[in-house]
Amino acid sequence: METVKFFSGEQVPLEMHKVRMVQRLNLLPVEERKKAMEEAGYNTFLLKNRDVFLDMLTDSGVNAMSDRQYAAMMLADDSYAGSETFYKLEKALQDVFGTKYFLPAHQGRACEHILSKAFVTQGSVALMNFHFTTTKALITESGGSVEEIVSDAGLEVTSSLDFKGNIDMGKLQEAFDRLGKEKISFVRLEAGTNLIGGQPISMQNIREVSAFCREHELLFIIDASLLADNLYFVKVREPEFADVELNDITREMGKLADIIYFSARKLGCARGGGILTSSDELYSQMRTLVPLFEGFITYGGMSVREMEAMAIGMYETLDFHVIEQTPIFVKALSDEFLARGIPVVTPAGGLGCHLDATRFCEHLPQTQYQAGALASAAYIAAGVRGMERGTLSEQRNPDGSERFSNMELLRLAFPKRVFTLSQVKYIADRIDWLYQNRELIGGLEFIEEPPILRFFFGRLKELGGWTDKLVAKFRADFGDSL
């Protein structure tokens, strides 16, 4: 994006790319949307994409790629071992992060699987600013547990703090004093955060956590899946870095962490993942797990075509015009909502716009899954598929009781460079209508509840026939409009 001044004086961000391939979209009538939601068990993961107008479920693996990424795919070297493509990607990652070793894995959670197998022991605790669903499930599966030490502001829906995702150094010290070095498997910093509204982490915080871990001999891991957005916030919100090259920032991160891993479905706009380190010892601890779980060490379960695209995508992440598009769109939609009094996470972060279902659906109890209900209602109202990021995305406590999420959010993710501003205006309009009619949104109840990662496959039912009332009101207000 490039901000230009209009004749009127308004400052407007302009896309510094043009779209050269498009995909047809379909917006079903509201009655059919209601039926599709019911068939999907009120779980947006189970909707068929053909029934979705704007797919804002995630930015994972669905970002627009550049012409240079597509061109690179044609050059891929298919060899099982020693593929030239691997060395190209390894070089790109060395250039970007300055780290020595690259272990490929087929996606982010595959990296987490390897990290859990290598470093999580029975009864150990992984400290982190905040968990991600797959991270926690894999650590738990290896016999460890997760403790969150994010700043208090990170758990407040509205705030004016710039870096709500930061680790609270006092909480880190307290956890270290209580648990001791031996019990801590590692300290993980998710940069930026996922489940608490795409909130960023400052370089200052990364430096402090790194220094603490070095002093106390703790393993320090950065999850860089959401790094593209985080880099943008470091540049625009942390004065020291305003004039620093993006590559200098990523290289400093590479020095501060013992291990960096990422989902390349997000970072680098392709499909895959990787683990980086400069330590010979850590590398050899993890290396044998790659051929065991992923594939040979020079492809790690990825298609070489994706690896070629990823290499280019990593370099493109260092282009400010590329990385600023998502944060600008998230802010544009958040501002549209705020102007209409609709509750959202503030300040606007990366990844997507996060509606606050606790306030949006304050007439519903948390036991009826406010964020899940809002996700269903938003699909019925707008054909928009968002993702529940609340209690449904939690795991139950070991005794089977419900573990209520700190926040009940509906995430409307922005795949990078995929949507237009008129689509943003459409979402704002339909969600505004839903907000004016929020009393019509009712609760949900499980009818099928898997024990692990229940939000992927769980099926629910609506309580009290509220979706019919919502559809009737939509028709009354919009006539025969889609």
- Residue tagged active-site, from 80, 404, 456, 478: 80
Q: Bin 375: left if φ > 0, else alpha if -120 < ψ < 50, else beta.
A: alpha
Smallest separation, CB 273 to ligand F0G (Å): 6
Our CB check for ligand F0G shows the closer of 379 and 474 to be 379
Q: What is the DSSP string of 243-299?
A: TS-HHHHHHHHHHH-SEEEEETTTTTSSS-EEEEE--HHHHHHHHTHHHHHTS-TTT
Active site residue 360: no
Smallest separation, CB 375 to ligand F0G (Å): 13
Helix (H) or strand (E) holding 387: strand 387-389
Distance CA 204, CA 77 (A): 40
Active site residue 389: yes
Smallest separation, CB 193 to ligand F0G (Å): 7
Residue whose entry in the numeric block shows the structure tokens 């300290």: 187
Active site residue 80: yes
Active site residue 438: no
Active site residue 266: yes
**The one-letter amino acid at 210:** S
- Residue tagged active-site, from 326, 455, 467, 474: 455
- Residue tagged active-site, from 88, 305, 389, 416: 389
CB–CB of 462/376 below 8 Å? yes
Q: Which residues bind ligand F0G (CB under 6 A)?
A: 58, 60, 107-109, 132, 134, 190, 194, 223, 225-226, 263, 265, 273
Distance CA 19, CA 38 (A): 35
Smallest separation, CB 439 to ligand F0G (Å): 30
β-pairing, 220-223 vs 259-263, is: parallel
Smallest separation, CB 191 to ligand F0G (Å): 9
Our CB check for ligand F0G shows the closer of 45 and 433 to be 45
Our CB check for ligand F0G shows the closer of 275 and 440 to be 275
Q: Which residue pairs, CB below 8 angstroms and at least 24 apart, start in 420-423?
A: 421/329, 421/332, 423/54
Our CB check for ligand F0G shows the closer of 194 and 317 to be 194
Our CB check for ligand F0G shows the closer of 386 and 442 to be 386
Active site residue 305: no
Our CB check for ligand F0G shows the closer of 223 and 356 to be 223
Distance CA 326, CA 317 (A): 12
Smallest separation, CB 373 to ligand F0G (Å): 20
CB–CB of 414/330 below 8 Å? yes
Catalytic positions = 80, 132-133, 223, 266, 389, 455
